[in-house]
Structure 1
Amino acid sequence: MKRSLVFLPFILIFSSLVFGQSSRSVKFFEKGEKAVAERNFGEAKAYLEKSIAEDSTNGNSYYLLAYLNILDKDYEKARQLYRELMKCCSKDAKFMLAHLSLAEYEWSLGNYKKAIGFANSFLAFNPGRKKYREIRRANKILASSNYALENIDNVLPYSYESIGEKVNVKAQQYFPAITADGKELYFTARDERDNENIFKTSYFNAEWSSPEEVEELNTQFNEGTCSISADGTIMIFTSCESTRDRAGYGSCDLFITQKVGDKWSKPKNLGPNINSRDWESQPSLSADGRTLYFVSDRRGGQGKKDIWVSYLNEHNQWTLAENLGETINTADDDLSPYIHSNGHTLYFSSEGHLGFGGLDLFKSEKASGSWSTPQNLGYPINDHSDQVSLVVSADGSKGYFSKEHIDGNQRTSKIVSFDLPKEIIPQSLSTYLKGVVYDAITKKPIKAQLELKLLDRIETESKVLSDGETGKYLIVLNQNEEYALYISKPGYLFQSLTFDMHNAGVEGVTLDVFLQRVDQGTNITLSNIFFNSNEYVLQKKSNVELNKVKDFLVLNPSLNVEISGHTDNIGSQEYNLDLSQKRAEAVTNYLIKNGIDASRLKAVGYGEKKPIADNNTELGRKENRRIEFEIL
């Protein structure tokens, strides 16, 4: 929180003097008042100091001199003058705003009991309706201070440390953004007289490397406050100078760039559905880069700066930004959103929600399309100063933010990390699957689409592309979900994988994928076809896979395919043969009912004749119980 005082508008009320004041003190005050009217502030200060020296009970001189020090941003001096004013004139309603200024100042230092005292003494003057803003401010200070006193003893385990002196080499480092595997971190940095630029550091051999400028994005102007997708291939950042190469709509705009290989593409303005003539900044991308949260002070919000959201639709266009609503946004500033890689835990900073003063960090969970009441992250993560730009690792173990240090007029900051207390971790944690997509024949890396679907709700959880040069991909998987993952590319047979994340850990998994071209004899296992034991009725969650097969056949109308059923070796051969045939027919019947010509489909049951794993183990038997798809 800035250690400022309530700004007192200069009103010529001082001439109504208090009876009994020293005549010399009054004359010096009048000269000071005249100098202020002539805007000779230095001269005015000298006269007012002489006035106080002549009479230490001249409240007018204290009040006007404090005002002049506020203009000079010498808040400590103004505070001292207000304290002296309280000694002589605390009951004078003319000086009621001095009480509010002292309440503000003590609140900004975390002196909550003193802040309560001054806020109450201000309200005791029963200020009129014209001072509704000041009344609101006093009540906010009271509510916050009482909340702080009630909760400050609930101390969370919390200790932060710098992520390394190799990284924190500039005067200021802030707004970090980290990939889901925790290997790359981007941030904004600057020295005192430099412009903002974007930097990157990599985690290797248990330490963060010396940062490198992202040269293809940085210019002679300011670039910063970036966000990246979980795989580190999509970045959205802020640029505040409109140029021929980066034309903007307003004071600060959001731009998008994509990384292919090791290079970032030319940034593009996100357009009028997101950017406006006002200020847009502090983006936060979802794991797959298809949902964007950001901050704007545009009209139509709940208050000052609000958090907004936009979605990338099926035409790869960003939808018109929507305000996140009154559950998240308040009449004051709501800033620095961070959407966790699980897609439904939002961390953000707010002045408006009840907290310890200044900007506090909060957490909200999204369920059934609605955000929960924000939870204050608690003390000492939050205190009387400002807390902003928190990001949380995919596995929920670490938090990263910028720790600021103010020494007089010098402001420095460095990126730090801390172990996340269990009280504030996301409701569901994430892990990741990463690897390379190859052509199965040439073994060359290829660009392919990876689509992750929730089996129980038949929804697309995320959709990403592997790198066009390296074939690398990374996709986030959330705990306590069951997924179908499809890797596809035109001209290739899609690959189907299944992941049951119930009771799963958070360690990342590396898996390379080899896609086969659409040729006769090519086959895949349909990993997301489900039957109950010894039954041939399709489970509902099989619909995701079945619809994928149907869509593939619609896109490739000349193909005929065999759907084959396979079992383990438990039971008689005759029984297994019959069961596998009925299961294959269940699949073909679904496809026929959904518009695929029966002449293109052949259902065959092989029973236990074609095992692909050892039937002597449960895992092997599970692999042998399968449905396959082969091009004829």
Structure 2
Amino acid sequence: MARFVTDSQIHGYSIAFRPYFRSRALPLLHSFLLFLVVFISTAQKRVQKHAQKEFEAANRTLQFNPEQALKEFRQILILDSTFAPAYMRIGQLLERDLTQKGTAINFYEKAVELDSTEIAFKNLYEILGKHYLARGVYSKAVRFFQGYLKFPGTYLPHQQNIQRYLSQCLYAQKVLAVNADSTSRFSLPSPINGNDFQSYPVLTADLKTLIFTRFRGDEDLFVSQKEETGWSVPRSLSPIINTDKNEGTCSVSADGNTLVFTACHRPDGLGSCDLYISKRISQTWQLPQNLGPIINSQNWESQPGLSADGRTLYFSSDRPLGVGGKDIWVAQLDTSGVWTSPQNLGKTVNTAFDEISPFIHSNNESLFFASDGREGMGGFDVYLSKLTDIHWSVPINLGYPLNDFADQQGFYIAPDCKQAFYSYKYKLADKEDGITAGSKICYLQLPDTLAALCPRTFVLKGKVLDAEIRKPLKATLTIHNQSIPSFPLSVYATNDSTGECVVIFPNRADAFVLVESSGYYPKILRVDSATITENEEMEIALVRFHSDKSEVLKNVLFVLGSAELEAVSSGELDRLVYFLEKNKSVKLIIEGHTDDLGDSKYNELLSLDRAKKVVHYLIVNGVDSKRLRAEGFGYRKPLIHNKSEEARRLNRRVSWRVIE
């Protein structure tokens, strides 16, 4: 009992417990109850009176000797095994001994069983309800929460809290009654779950690198690689990242080269915990930088969720002007590389309680997060909200078996939306160090009902090279939507030294990849999702600007025999406008070409008119006319011999060439 404390307040009850048999205002009683009171034996009264006297003496002992008081309370039960207050006191004292918390529950239950109307036992109903809710024993939890609510005089916000717990129990019972899903979670094997506490898994897009938080006296980030035989033994991510303070709850970009993580109580910190960023160059993590006062506040910022391209950051914070306790916020990286001021996701997502561990799927529209403020199964459940235009949908509980009575958080969904990794908090046996819960990393194959809520994406790997000398290039790969070509869906970059890249491609027919590198002709990649081979490396060769080389505008089409542009041409021409806006010093010749059918002079004029039509489109859309020149070549410069209709189709074209 050396770990007992001499606090005179245990669970809010003064040690000066008022006499258990006190005078009560008696309502009209049924004759049967009166009969029982009248004929209670004198011996029983004497025992109860003696037990009350001993209870008051033990309360006095409690003030200076809790260990001795525990013995005295136990003696009272030998004297009178029905004396409910002694059960409560023994439970309170055992609960303060860190190895006896579980045993304390038995005494609390006995106390309320013996006297269900004693208002001094009110808090015991809350303790018991929470205890059984945390273990998924919903029927018992319901009984105790309902027992708590029957007492008058509860502070309204606290009453609402208890009502919330009760609602969670009733919701869970309803879910379990109809759920027939046989999907099961699996704990990742050792060495990943190598101790009592590892959590918040994140992976690179190819699912080959796992980074997670591990507690070893303080929190650090660990990394493991997927090998043929399984996961490698985890090692500290980097001495540059981990210190003797707490580092954890991170997020990583699709290519694994940008890391945002939480660090607490650092000398350069702005609040209790801040968000930091580090870049990996040539396999080495660089010195982390505090994300600064735009992102971090004097409060708590943690649990980042970085988009696959590293340009959108979600995180949890208890900063002012939120909706409730901890809320989810979002910031964007602008074109100059500066984070915008974070915006609260609002009341559709956030509640008066806590929303934590946001994860934005690589489709950039499915947001997964944990909350204890919504209809759920107890603790933190995982929810999904989808972004449509600028509005978030009402979150959906992802249901059983993913969610249950425990805390589920730190969620990661693979690009194919079929695999989930997350941390699962579980109960440990009572221990002297006071740690009563552990956390393990779990894996779940998502059922089709869940995968349908998350549009899949594809992982494309590649290397961008100079087409002539084969050297790696520093390039940008932008995912565009055909209908809004000037507004990118996401932006990726190659590794500066290797030219390697990882791109997450959406499952939509109108998307394409624009590959750009300074001094080179851009290239457009159109990807057929039906034939994609994921993780197969592509080679993307770019041609350096040359005055004798041109690029064909592949989707610029004209009405047959005229210079009238077809409507479909606007997408390709808008991309050329976009290129010229980004390369202000570039000047172009727009070249028109025909096939070999018809009169040569007519073809010369037609090809020139078509080139002029393209120049006109560019000027109307903001390009300086001094940067453009139109030329028509008729059929004098065919790409291939005009031997077939297919060859002639390819030779009828408009192209562009850089002259400065």
TM range (shorter): 0.7 to 0.9
Partner of 1:187: 212
Deviations 1:307-337 (A, max 9, x none): 1111111221112222221111122221111
Q: Aligned partner of 1:551: which letter?
A: E
State the Cα distance separating 1:285 from its structure 2 match. Answer: 0.3
**CA contact 1:261–1:468 (8 Å) conserved in 2:** no
* CA offset digits 1:79-107 (Å, max 9, x no partner): 21122112321122332232232222222
Q: Is the 8 A contact 1:496 1:526 kept in 2?
A: no
Residues 402-411 or 94-103, more deviating: 402-411
Question: Any residues of structure 2 matched to 1:90-105 within 5 Å, and which?
Answer: 90-105=116-131
What residue number does 1:221 align with?
245
Partner residue of 1:596 out of 602, 620, 624:
624
Q: CA RMSD in A?
A: 3.2
* Cα-to-partner distance string for 1:270-289 (whole Å, 9 max, x where unaligned): 00111122222111100111
1:208 aligns with 2:231: yes
2:13 partner SS: coil
Instruction: State whether residues 15 and 60 of structure 2, in contact with CA within 8 Å, keep that contact through their aligned partners in structure 1.
Output: no
The counterpart of 1:120, out of the listed 134, 146, 157, is 146
Report if aligned partners of 1:573, 1:608 keep a CA contact under 8 Å in 2: no
Instruction: String of CA shifts for 1:400-453, please: whole Å, max 9, x gaps.
Output: 123455431375544332211112224321113221122333322122222222
Q: What is the deviation of 1:524?
A: 2.6
Q: Which moved more, 1:343-352 or 1:311-320?
A: 311-320
8 A Cα contact 2:406 2:425, kept in partner: no
Indicate the residue corresponding to 2:256 in structure 1.
232
> Deviation string for 1:250-302 (max 9, x for gaps)?
21111101112211111100001111222221111001111111112223222
Question: Is 437-446 or 392-401 further displaced after alignment?
Answer: 437-446
Please point out which of 25, 29, 33 is paired with 2:59: 33
* Paired AA for residue 227 in structure 1: S
Aligned counterpart, 1:315:
336
User: C-alpha offsets along residues 548-569 of structure 1, whole Å, 9 cap, x if unaligned?
Assistant: 243255332xx342334577x9
Cα–Cα, structure 1 residues 530 and 389, in superposed 2: closer, same or farther, change >3 Å? farther
Structure 2: unaligned runs, 5 residues or longer: 1-9, 23-44
Tell me by how many angstroms 1:468 deviates. 1.2
Q: Is the 8 A contact 1:560 1:631 kept in 2?
A: yes
1:253-292 residue pairs with structure 2 within 5 A?
Answer: 253-292=274-313
SS in 2 for 1:517: coil
Q: Deviations over 1:9-31 (max 9, x none)?
A: 12356223315562331222112
Q: Check whether the contact 1:429–1:506 (CA below 8 A) recurs between aligned residues.
A: no
Bigger mean CA deviation after superposition, 215-224 or 227-236: 215-224
Greater Cα shift, 106-115 or 378-387: 106-115
Q: Give the Cα separation in 2 of the matches to 1:300 and 1:552.
A: 38
SS in 2 for 1:512: strand
Deviation larger for 85-94 or 543-552 = 543-552
Give the AA of the match of 1:208.
W
Question: Cα distance, 1:508 vs. partner?
Answer: 4.3
> Comparing 92-101 with 361-370, which one deviates more in the overlay?
92-101
Correspondence for 2:565? 536
Distance 1:333 1:169 in 2: 29
Do 2:605 and 2:632's aligned partners in 1 also have CA atoms closer than 8 Å?
Answer: no
* Number of the residue aligned with 2:133: 107
Q: Is the 8 A contact 2:332 2:340 kept in 1?
A: yes
Letter of the aligned partner of 1:180 in structure 2?
Answer: A
**Distance verdict in 2 for CA 1:173–1:518, change over 3 Å:** same
After TM superposition, the score normalised by the length of structure 1 is 0.88
Deviation readout 1:165-191 (Å, 9 max, x if unpaired): 344445533211112222322222244
Partner of 1:8: 11
Q: 1:135 maps to what in 2?
A: 159
SS in 1 for 2:526: strand
Query: For residue 53 of structure 2, what is the amino acid of its counterpart?
Result: K
1:435, 1:474 within 8 Å by CA — same for their partners in 2?
yes
Cross-structure match for 2:270: 249
Hey, what does 1:304 align to over in structure 2?
325
How do 1:423-462 and structure 2 match up within 5 A? 423-425=449-451, 426-458=453-485, 459-462=487-490
For the Cα contact (< 8 Å) 1:496–1:525, is it kept in 2? no
Deviations 1:69-88 (A, max 9, x none): 33345432232112211232
Larger mean Cα displacement after TM superposition, 391-400 or 78-87:
78-87
Native 8 Å contact 2:460 2:537 kept in 1: yes
Alignment of 1:166-185 (within 5 A): 166-185=191-210
The verdict on how the C-alpha distance between 1:44 and 1:374 changes in structure 2, with shifts beyond 3 A counting, is same
Deviations 1:111-155 (A, max 9, x none): 222222222222223x22x52243112211221112112111323
Instruction: Verify the 8 A CA contact 2:324 2:354 in the aligned structure 1.
Output: yes
Partners in 1 of 2:73 and 2:312 — Cα distance? 58
- What secondary structure is seen at the aligned counterpart in 1 of 2:190? coil
Alignment match, 1:587? 614
Shift of 1:164: 4.3
- Choose 536-545 or 281-290, whichever is displaced more: 536-545
Match of 1:546 in 2: 576
Q: Which moved more, 1:389-398 or 1:163-172?
A: 163-172
Q: Is the 8 A contact 1:496 1:527 kept in 2?
A: no
C-alpha contact 2:205 2:415 (8 A) present in aligned 1: yes
Between 333-342 and 312-321, report the one with greater CA deviation.
312-321
From 110, 125, 145, give the equivalent of 1:84: 110
* Counterpart position of 1:353: 374
2:358 corresponding residue in structure 1 = 337
Instruction: Sort the Cα spacing of 1:279 and 1:379 in 2 relative to 1 into closer, same or farther, 3 A.
Output: same
Secondary structure, counterpart of 1:390 in structure 2: strand
Give the gaps of 5 or more residues in structure 1.
1-6
- Name the CA distance, whole Å, in 2 between partners of 1:108 and 1:523: 68
Query: What are the residue-to-residue correspondences of 1:549-564 with 2, within 5 Å?
Result: 549-552=579-582, 554-556=584-586, 559-564=587-592
Distance across 1 between alignment mates of 2:588 and 2:492: 29
SS at match of 2:20: coil
Distance 1:175 1:32, change over 3 A: same
**One-letter amino acid of the counterpart of residue 218, structure 1:** N
d(CA) in 1 for partners of 2:147, 2:17: 21
AA at the equivalent of 1:482: D
- The answer to whether the 8 A contact 1:525-1:627 is kept is yes
Superposed, which structure 2 residues align to 1:407-418 within 5 Å? 407-408=428-429, 409=431, 412-418=438-444
Kept in 2, the 8 Å contact 1:348–1:363? The answer is yes
**Matched residues in 2 for 1:155 and 1:528: separation?**
51
Give the letter for the 2:444 counterpart: F
Relative to structure 2, which stretch is displaced further, 517-526 or 230-239? Answer: 517-526
SS at match of 2:295: coil
Percent of pairs identical after alignment?
31
Paired residue secondary structure (2:503): strand
Residues 66 and 429 (structure 1 numbering): CA distance in 2 closer, same or farther, change over 3 Å? same
Alignment of 1:56-67 (within 5 A): 56-67=81-92
Query: Shift of the alpha carbon at 1:232?
Result: 1.3
Q: Which amino acid aligns with 1:630?
A: R
* 1:559-615 Cα distance to aligned partner (Å, 9 max, x none): 342334577x9x979899887665544322111222322673224365696346999
Give the Cα separation in 1 of the matches to 2:480 and 2:204.
21
The aligned amino acid for 1:434 is: K
**Contact conserved, 2:277 with 2:288, CA < 8 A, in 1?**
yes
Residue 43 (str. 1) matches residue 71 (str. 2): no
Between 1:415-424 and 1:542-551, the stretch displaced more is 542-551
Which secondary structure state, in structure 1, belongs to the residue aligned with residue 293 of structure 2? coil
Question: d(CA) in 2 for partners of 1:138 and 1:188?
Answer: 32
Distance in structure 1 (CA, Å) of the matches to 2:93 and 2:327: 33
State yes or no: 1:468 paired with 2:489: no
